[in-house]
Amino acid sequence: MKKMKLLKSTSAMAKQSFRKGRIFSLLVLLGLASGAWALDTQQLDKERQQVKAGDHLPAFGESLFKGAFKDQPFRGFNGGYRVTVGDQIALQLWGAYSFNAVLTVDAQGNIFIPEVGPVHVAGVDNGELNNFVLRHVKRVFKNNVQAYANLEASQPVKVFVTGYVKSPGLYPGFSSDSVLYYLDSAGGISRESGSFIDIKVLRQGEELQRINLYNFLVDGRMPALQLRNGDSIVVGPRQGFISIEGAVQESGQIEFIGPTTQLGEMLMVAKPDPQANYARITQVIDDEQQASYMPLQEALLTPLHPGAHVELVSDSDISSISVRVNGEVDGPAAYVLPYGATLQDLLDKLRYRDNADPFAIQLYRKSVAKKQKVALERSLDALEMEALTRQPTTTSDKASIKDSAAMIQNFIAKARNAKPRGQVVLANNINAGAMLLEDGDELVVPLRASTVSVVGEVIFPTSLVFNERNTLEDYIELAGGFSNNADTDELVVLHLDGTISRIKESKFDNRLKGILRPGDEIMVMPKIQASELQVTKDVTEILYRIAVGTAAVLSF
């Protein structure tokens, strides 16, 4: 039986690489922070991001505006629709007198019926329109004349959408279209600064309706409005919010109006799981961070301040956790440990096989994978919005932007299928053994490696026997060389322990002793063909995030 304590790893090797090659190894903790991937590795060494708990969570309702509303305008009517100026009414009279025409409601709200005269229909409910018109006809034609009136088309209107939306402006539609249609046309509510619960509809400067989209998201309730030319939809600034996750159906950042709220009110939106029975609450009160842990029933009336973070847990979370162990170990495939167990507690129980490499232990965590996925989706959403809203300045620009947008859309579709592994990097951290384990963690003890893989934009992606005398250039040549789509300026080396090294072209022919190690994966990234510098930067960021988070190179 072998037992090892995770107190040191290959830190000496990493330090040597800094001295000799000045190559920057990064500890890839994707998703533990905001998920941002800085391309400037020197800047990463200088700055440490302090990210609040809950910042990785999406704003509740964030996914609402992705084109599903603006692509489906509503030109029909419901019984509560009120006839307004500009509406078209199909009218038929038959019997002793015949008439068939489509009449437009004029500026006075009237339609003119021959032999009957003007009939004021503005404000009449759609469901009552036919009977209303028939009564007026009967005042002139007492007998033997019947009437049928039906709304044929609602009025085209242009509505201002402003406030905290992505693309404020004047948008065309129909008076029967919903507020959601116009908000979606404006690119949706700004996640960082816009409110989903404070939206006003103004008519001639006066408030016509105040809308809380949570009513629609939770209960499907949306006020039926008939918009007119020149109406304004104004999205207010983001209100205070709390973040909530854990044993809930809707994790996210939830807004509220007022200086404080209560957990019970927020759970009407987040919907707790049936097994949730405890709450962890962290918040800042009077400039002091406070943490509490209490039964859920007690927590329901707890005042929550803006920025509070709440995690709901269940009994199973409190008493014990389950961790899977795979790879070069003997013993059970899953360990049940007491809540609060550390990585070292688990390592003390393992029996390593002779060919195990305990210095390259890999830890995968569901919560990290989820955060990585959220960060990736946000980047893809931003890239998609940027690609779809770019405006051409010339005819040639229009064709170029169209081709570029199609290429980016294809890339985004592939990127959305990426599944981050959720790896927590343990190397070069003497405190890793003290890290608390989470329920559902997976620990992998790899086989002592003897190969190096070359993947991505090479002719023959393959695995090769490690030779410490080989350079990066040698491995690339053994894999058939770069493909035509390869980015030859920089390579990414993903080490078995989860750390990465980014190596510039000038170092390809160096032996880089201490950098290349058995088990490494040399990743050749694709060359980005995009006309816009910002698009190139965004796509590159996403490609690197996917490469490190999934250990796979996505083509572009």
pLDDT tens for each residue of 443-489: 999 999 999 999 888 999 999 999 888 888 889 999 999 988 888 88
Closest by Cα among 28, 11, 45 to 364: 28
98-105 long-range contacts (CB < 8 A, ≥24 apart) are 102/152
The larger pLDDT score, comparing residue 499 to residue 307, is at 307
Q: Among 3.30.70.20, 3.10.20.600, 3.40.50.1820, 1.10.3370.10, what is the CATH number of 241-317?
A: 3.10.20.600
Residue 10's pLDDT is what? Answer: 36
pLDDT digits (tens, 9 = 90+) for 36-77: 333 333 333 333 232 356 778 889 988 888 767 877 666 666
E strands, 249-379, where?
Answer: 252-256, 261-262, 276-285, 288-295, 303-304, 309-314, 320-327, 329-330, 334-338, 351-352, 362-364
Q: What single string gives the DSSP state of each residue in 342-375?
A: BHHHHHTT-EE-TTB-GGG-EEE-HHHHHHHHHH
Query: Contact at 8 Å (CB) between 102 and 90?
Result: yes
Residue type, 271: K
Q: In a 10 Å sphere around its CB, with 0-12 CB exposed, 13-18 middle and 19+ buried, how is residue 438 labelled? A: middle
| 284 pLDDT above the threshold of 70 | yes
Instruction: Count other Cβ atoms within 10 Å, centred on residue 108.
Output: 9
Q: Is the dihedral of CA 154, 156, 162, 164 positive or negative?
A: positive
Q: Angle 393-397-401 (CA atoms, 0-180°, nearest 5)?
A: 115
Query: Contact at 8 Å (CB) between 514 and 441?
Result: no
- The token duo for 9 is 């790893």
| 321 pLDDT above the threshold of 50 | yes
380: left (phi over 0), alpha (psi -120 to 50) or beta: alpha
Q: What single string gives the DSSP state of each residue in 463-488?
A: EEE--TT--HHHHHHHTT-B-TTB-T
| 405 pLDDT above the threshold of 90 | no
Residue 465's pLDDT is what? Answer: 93
Query: Contact at 8 Å (CB) between 18 and 489?
Result: no
List the beta bridge partners of residue 280.
293, 311
Q: How many Å apart are CA 427 and CA 6, to the nearest integer?
A: 9
pLDDT digits (tens, 9 = 90+) for 5-41: 433 333 333 334 333 333 333 333 333 333 333 333 3
Average pLDDT (273-283) is 88
pLDDT digits (tens, 9 = 90+) for 503-533: 887 666 666 666 788 999 998 888 876 655 5
| 1 pLDDT above the threshold of 70 | no
pLDDT digits (tens, 9 = 90+) for 86-109: 888 999 999 888 999 999 999 899
Residue 23's pLDDT is what? Answer: 32
Average pLDDT (105-134) is 91
Average pLDDT (159-166) is 95
Close Cβ partners of 133 (under 8 Å, ≥ 6 residues apart)? 89, 91, 113, 119, 121, 147, 149
Q: How many Å apart are CA 235 and CA 198, to the nearest integer?
A: 6
Look up tokens 């943490």; give the residue: 291
Q: How many Å apart are CA 253 and CA 243, to the nearest integer?
A: 4
CATH class of the domain comprising 11-36+369-423+449-550:
alpha beta
Query: Contact at 8 Å (CB) between 449 and 464?
Result: no
Would you call 395 helix, strand, or coil by DSSP? helix
The larger pLDDT score, comparing residue 468 to residue 110, is at 110
Q: How many Å apart are CA 432 and CA 415, to the nearest integer?
A: 31
CA distances (Å), origin 99, targets 131, 133, 145: 17, 13, 10
Residue 44's pLDDT is what? Answer: 32
The larger pLDDT score, comparing residue 433 to residue 387, is at 433
pLDDT digits (tens, 9 = 90+) for 332-384: 778 888 888 899 999 999 999 999 988 888 899 988 888 888 888 888 887 77
CATH class of the domain comprising 88-153:
alpha beta
| 120 pLDDT above the threshold of 70 | yes
Considering the chain, tell me which residue range(s) the CATH 3.10.20.600 domain(s) occupy: 241-317
Considering the chain, tell me which residue range(s) the CATH 3.30.1950.10 domain(s) occupy: 88-153
- The token duo for 65 is 């505006």
Look up tokens 């990465």; give the residue: 500
- The token duo for 394 is 């010339």
Considering the chain, tell me which residue range(s) the CATH 3.10.560.10 domain(s) occupy: 11-36+369-423+449-550, 156-237
127-136 long-range contacts (CB < 8 A, ≥24 apart) are 127/79, 127/80, 129/83, 129/89, 133/89, 133/91
Q: What angle in degrees, to the nearest 10, is found between the helix axes of 395-415 and 533-550? A: 10
Q: Residue 415: what are its φ and ψ, rounded to 5°? A: -65, -30
178: left (phi over 0), alpha (psi -120 to 50) or beta: beta
Residue 314's Cβ-side half-sphere holds a number of Cα atoms within 13 Å equal to: 11
Query: Contact at 8 Å (CB) between 87 and 151?
Result: yes
Give the architecture-level CATH label for domain 156-237: Roll (3.10)
Q: What is the pTM of this model?
A: 0.50
Q: How many Å apart are CA 554 and CA 544, to the nearest integer?
A: 9
Dihedral (Cα; 84, 89, 94, 99), 10-degree rounding: 110
